[in-house]
Copies of this chain bind each other. A is one copy, B any other.
């Protein structure tokens, strides 16, 4: 079993840095420095640059590799080991590939956090992930994951997942461009909101991040 997540919880804001231009990604990371608890990156950025980007960004903020790993245990282990070796503080994995794969991720993660997808925030997430979300959340608990991913687009589902996972962290994507509200997600039990385009696509990146940090502080203080 992993220790509880050691991720800081200062601003409750995680930037989804879904840029594929490496130089721009680093510039945005610099702009939000100190305003985000973590930066989440995905495969398109790694493909268009290299895995060295994980290391470079990890010097600016804790990096969560949103690799949505969904493979057999041995491949899962190899992916998580490499992400952590390159500086990732967390890796996101799927549980629908089974407990043995999630357990392999947790074992390979050492001091880093494994976050498990329960249901997904896009329309297609209703087809297979939502009907299985309770069981996927239980896999996260049973395998010693640090937390789960639950959709800000369906805040009532965050409250539901919270009842299953107890003290595990909830990271909630879908705020902003996808229509979810930061306040609703946090009031319903999310520990962090994950925001992408509404920050990195804003005319003033830092101002957009500051507004979300303010909204998050208000939401948590009035919970």
Chain A, 56-107, CB within 8 A of any chain B CB: 67-73, 75, 78-79, 82-83, 86, 94-101
A20 at interface by CB-CB < 8 Å: yes
Is the Cβ of B73 less than 8 Å from the Cβ of A122?
yes
How many monomers of this chain does the complex have? Answer: 2
> Among B42, B44, B69, B126, which residue has its beta carbon within 8 angstroms of that of A98?
B126
- Enumerate 25 A-B pairs (CB-CB under 8 Å) in ascending A order: A43-B67, A43-B69, A43-B78, A46-B47, A50-B50, A50-B51, A68-B70, A68-B71, A70-B70, A72-B125, A73-B122, A95-B128, A96-B96, A96-B127, A96-B128, A97-B120, A97-B128, A97-B129, A98-B123, A98-B126, A99-B124, A100-B122, A101-B122, A101-B124, A127-B139
Is the Cβ of A128 less than 8 Å from the Cβ of B47?
no
Closest to A65 in B: B47
A132 to B129, CA, bound (A): 11
Please indicate the chain B residues that have their CB under 8 angstroms from the CB of A127 in the complex.
96, 98-99, 139
Chain A, 127-158, CB within 8 A of any chain B CB: 127-129, 132, 135-136, 139
A99 to B99, CA, bound (A): 24
Minimum distance in angstroms from A216 CB to a CB of chain B: 23
Is the Cβ of A132 less than 8 Å from the Cβ of B123?
no
Minimum distance in angstroms from A42 CB to a CB of chain B: 6
A204 to B68, CA, bound (A): 36
Q: Give the residue among A73, A96, A120 with the most B Cβ atoms within 10 A.
A: A96
Supplied contacts A101-B124, A127-B139, 16 more A-B pairs, CB within 8 Å:
A43-B69, A43-B78, A44-B82, A46-B47, A47-B51, A47-B79, A68-B70, A72-B120, A72-B124, A72-B125, A94-B96, A96-B129, A98-B127, A99-B124, A100-B122, A128-B135
